[in-house]
Structure 1
């Protein structure tokens, strides 16, 4: 009789820290996920959206203010499968209402779940973003999620239901001008997200 198969070793935060800086690493339920840095269209969509939201919502210029809007913040949440372990996720963009988080933490990560996240999809990350990260965001109570696809030129808008499941609220395409929660105080021109 053969030996029983060994359980694979759970990755730790130390494994994540050992990833070379030219890669993006995230840790979900003990599995380390390593990806190349974003491609130009991905970076353009993320940067464009951040620029559109930061003025009116983070700085209060031409909008209501009241938010922290950040690029690629590292989020730490308890891993429900392993006491003492964490899930470490890095959304492309995230936002916190200042009423929930009046000051930025002193740590290099955020333990408080954002109110909104945005993931910019790429061929190498789309299934991970949808199948691994979105359930963690729901579990942690993130209220709003946007998935931006710079190749298909779409913005998918999700809202968290009472059952902690995502509901697809809308899909916007191409150069649409839209008002989308939680940032519906301004109109977004989606054309600024796509590389020209």
Structure 2
């Protein structure tokens, strides 16, 4: 008779903190995910989208304001499988309505789920973003989720539907000019995200 399978040790936040700073680390369901830093097309798409949204929504310049829009915030959620432990995710962009989070926390992480997240997909992270992180965002009540793919030149829009999780709403491509909730007060020219 064979040996019983060795039980894998659940990773902890201490394991995440030990990851070198040139990597992105996330902790989901007791599993430590260590990811490479993003490639230039990924970084450019995230930076341009964040820049497009920050003026009107974070600063209130030419738009309604009322948001905190942040690059790569570390967000902590309670780990449902291990009380007292946390799950830690780092979306490429996240936004909180000021009415829900009037002040930024003093900690290095955010204990409150954002109202909106955006993940910029790359070949090395797409499966992780879709199958690991999107269910966590839905479970924690993130209402709006966008997936941007700079290689396919797409922006996929998801919205939280009670009992169904993050449901797909629309996919926009190439040089589309779009107005998308929760930032439909402005038009976004997607070609700016792919420009070299």
Task: State the TM-score bracket (shorter-chain normalisation).
Answer: over 0.9
- Is this contact kept in 2: 1:94–1:118, CA < 8 A? yes
- Is this contact kept in 2: 1:139–1:164, CA < 8 A? no
Q: Deviations over 1:148-183 (max 9, x none)?
A: 000000000000002151111110001110000000
1:5 positional shift: 2.1
- Is this contact kept in 2: 1:141–1:164, CA < 8 A? no
Aligned to 2:193: 193
1:2 positional shift: 4.1
- Distance in 2 between the 1:3 and 1:130 partners? 35
Aligned to 1:66: 66
Superposed, 1:82-101 pairs within 5 Å as: 82-101=82-101
Aligned to 1:8: 8
SS of the residue corresponding to residue 50 of structure 1 reads helix
Task: Note if 1:120 corresponds to 2:120.
Answer: yes
Aligned to 2:18: 18
Instruction: Please report the RMSD computed on the Cα atoms of aligned residues, expressed in angstroms.
Output: 0.9
1:192 positional shift: 1.0
Structure 2, unmatched stretches of 5+, are none
- Is this contact kept in 2: 1:60–1:66, CA < 8 A? yes
- Distance in 2 between the 1:194 and 1:96 partners? 26
- Distance in 2 between the 1:149 and 1:131 partners? 16
Task: Note if 1:48 corresponds to 2:48.
Answer: yes
SS of the residue corresponding to residue 118 of structure 2 reads strand
- Distance in 1 between the 2:36 and 2:126 partners? 13
Superposed, 1:29-178 pairs within 5 Å as: 29-178=29-178
Structure 1, unmatched stretches of 5+, are none
- Distance in 1 between the 2:21 and 2:164 partners? 34
1:6 positional shift: 2.2
- Distance in 1 between the 2:39 and 2:101 partners? 32
- Distance in 2 between the 1:4 and 1:159 partners? 43
Give the length in aligned residue pairs. Answer: 196
- Distance in 1 between the 2:164 and 2:139 partners? 6
